[in-house]
Structure 1
Amino acid sequence: MSIVHERPAAPARTRHRGPSQPSARPAPGRRGQDRAGLWPYLLIAPTVLGMLYLLAYPLARAVLMSLQDFRLRQLISGHARFVGLRNYRTLLTDERFWQVVRRTFVFMAVNVVLIMVLATLVALLVERLGPRWRLAVLSSLVLAWAMPVIAATTVFQWLFHSEFGIVNWSLTQLGFTSFDRYPWFAHGPAAFTILVLLIVWQSVPFAAITVYSALTTVPAELYESARLDGASAARIFRAITFPMIRPIFMLVFSLEVIWTFKAFVQIWVMTNGGPGDATTILPVYAVQTALSSQRYDLGSAASMVTVLLMAAVLVFYFRQMHRQEGETP
């Protein structure tokens, strides 16, 4: 008699789907989520396209014109011959162009330094005023900032008019008889100074309000601790205030460099770059070159050089600032 041993039945194997295995069927509502994710891009698409049309297309067109022989005839016919970098060589070998470049950097440096110093002082003053005086000063700054550029330039022309200007009348009344009917805009240094005053007056309100808004973010406890330690006002500004507002200060500085570097309307309306070339900077030089001799190609090349120089100044400034931040413990 044989004994047969039966093997127990093996338990059924169950398949466990790991978490890394994707589902065979797409999750419900996946297409709706994808469409919802596209909505932000569709909403900003008109703005992006408009900016490309208003900014990128003119820039590309100016670059193309600077590489062509583009004069009045080509403007009418629409057919221009490609000449490569010939316009840039003509421009860079012109002594008058380099004189304008030097004058542009002097003009920019004087304006930006005065704007940032005065704006910082005004912002510090506003921070220490009471609520009523603070409101009055900020309202005055906003009104000055909102004044149109052409209107402000016309007012300054009236102020310094040789016969009817209040500046000449006031100086004459104070005993400076040499300023009786003094032609301010006929002398290069005088016209240059008036333009600096105009641009500084127009730019300080924005810079002061922006710097003041940054000052309001500095914790008051830091000031109190510094005063308890016996720190002076200058020491507090160097060690606490300026490091805290440095990002906003850098932003305002870069904006003022751009706006001052491309100042055109004030100079063109007030002096047309004269007398002589005393107030001619690169944007004015570009327009003069394009309109006086119908050399639109050279004018475009001067505009491109202006953009490159302005970008180089900003890149150098930002590199210096980031290097200082890296060295700060």
Structure 2
Amino acid sequence: MKENSLRYKEAGVDIDSGDRFVEKIKSLVRRASRPEVLGGIGAFSGLFQIDVRKYRCPVLVAGADGVGTKSRIAAILDKWNTIGIDLVAMSVNDILAQGAEPLFFLDYLSMGKLDSSRAEKVIKGIVEGCELAGCALLGGETAEMPGFYPEGECELAGFAVGVVEKDRIINGSKIKVGDKIIGIAGNGLHSNGYSMVRKVFGIDDDRSRARTILGSFIGDLGCSLGEELLKPTKIYVKSMLTVLERFKVNGIAHITGGGMKGNIPRILSDGCKAIVHRNRWQAPPIFEIVQRKGNVPDDEMFKVFNMGIGMALVVSSEEAEEIKSELVKKGEGASIIGEIVSGKKEIEII
């Protein structure tokens, strides 16, 4: 071997470190499993055997998402224990919106230099998210990409697959005039609108200044700004699967990027318009704080943020009260926030 021979580690990629990390998290990942999982992590792919006897005509439902620039807040504060929950929530709530039960989840974690302590905290959050959603963490990819990310930062992406009976797919086609809209409370900002929030509070590349801003206690929040911004996205799977077993739900909107303005119209059928009454629920204080400090118009707030409603259901007027009560029994904050009227496929917030 020549004296000046090059090793991959010298280029910034430590394969041995990556292998040790996989071994380290194997026992952790086993916590998020299901009986249908065949084998463990470390193979070229994950195996999941669907019990076809449980279904008449099963349809697989898949979704992919990330956490946006919320990961920048985690990086500034070096707090990584909840961002994995967000990652799972964004995808499992999306496939839940079509009536699907999440079966398994895969993650992609990339950073400039593998920091096993930080990565393990992220994986712990992902495992917790999978436990909350009742799905398996089937596998993933941890990539080391030197020179690609600023120091201390990473990128996250998640992929969820679920199953629903073909005749129970929820796509909004059965929404009709007279239906009611039930809003299920969120847990703050969830994982959308963080570029707006960082602009409003002046959280930029000056890490020291950003940490000071995020560390400031805000009385109306009862915590620091950073603690508020890192509250994990709520996972609605277990409470919603109970509702879907007992009741007919005509439409489900996961209120993510685009807010109510962008997401509720996506599920409306032709000739249906959504009317939402903003005085029927109490939005958490963070939204009013952002709006006031940033001088953000009402219309823009409802285009960017969930405004305290993480998921909206469209149900028949006859079952609306009973469904709301069932959600409350399951620990959700739920209110009847609107109704469907005749009109264009749009939403009006009054």
Q: TM-score, normalised by structure 1?
A: 0.24
The alignment's TM-score, normalised by the length of structure 2, stands at: 0.23
The structure number with the bigger radius of gyration is 1
Which structure has more relative contact order (CA 8 Å, sep 6+)? It is 1
The structure with more helix, counted as a fraction of residues? 1
Q: Which protein is richer in strand relative to its size? A: 2
